[in-house]
Structure 1
Amino acid sequence: MEAKQWTVQIYLNEDGNDTYARAVLATRDGTGPAGAGRARRNPADPSVPEIGDELAVSRALADLAEKLAVVAQHDITEFASSPAPSRSW
């Protein structure tokens, strides 16, 4: 059995009330997708940078997960020798 490790690198930038996050999946072959997320603080809310970071990163990771699922579905379709049988219970 081969052990594999993938790493997700998170990059954060702040610009005024906006926080931007980029989540990049690093795989051995370097073909991993990236996700993006943004959080905007309401100017009436107190400034708590960690909250903006958490929201932006969670959105970037959700975007990354969605893109990875699309890649997997594409690979299943491309490499399947025949369509998977439908299941009826």
Structure 2
Amino acid sequence: MEDKHWTVRIHITEDGDDTRAEAVLSAQDADTATVTGRGVAHRNPIDRPIPEIGDELAASRALEDLAIRLHDMASDDIVQLTGPVDR
């Protein structure tokens, strides 16, 4: 059995009260070469500016989006290999 190595890099940018994150997965195989999830956090102007919280929220949302995209890709692959499931 061959080990596989997937890498996820999270890029975070801040613009005023908005924090945006991109979680980019890079894989060895061609089918899952790169997949990107995105997340955004918006600070309420009346809240104290604590950048770490915006980073954490945006990154977690980007990772959640990435997980959904990977799941959708796997579901599409299953349908292609087996055909649609009748319910």
Identity of aligned residues (%): 51
Over aligned residues, Cα RMSD in angstroms? 1.6
Q: How many residues align?
A: 84
Structure 2 residue ranges without an equivalent (≥5): none
Residue pairs, 1:40-51, within 5 angstroms: 40-51=42-53
The one-letter code matched in structure 2 to 1:56 is A
CA distance in 1, matches of 2:34, 2:81: 18
TM-score normalised per structure 1: 0.86
Aligned with residue 64 of structure 1, among 61, 66, 74:
66
User: Which of these two proteins has the greater Rg computed from alpha carbons?
Assistant: 1
Task: Tell me the alpha carbon deviations over residues 37-70 of structure 1, each in whole angstroms, 9 at most, x when there is no partner.
Answer: 0000111111110000000000000000001100
The one-letter code matched in structure 1 to 2:74 is A
CA distance in 2, matches of 1:16, 1:8: 26
Which runs of 4 or more aligned residues in structure 1 lie more than 4 Å from their structure 2 counterparts after TM superposition? none
Structure 1 residue ranges without an equivalent (≥5): none
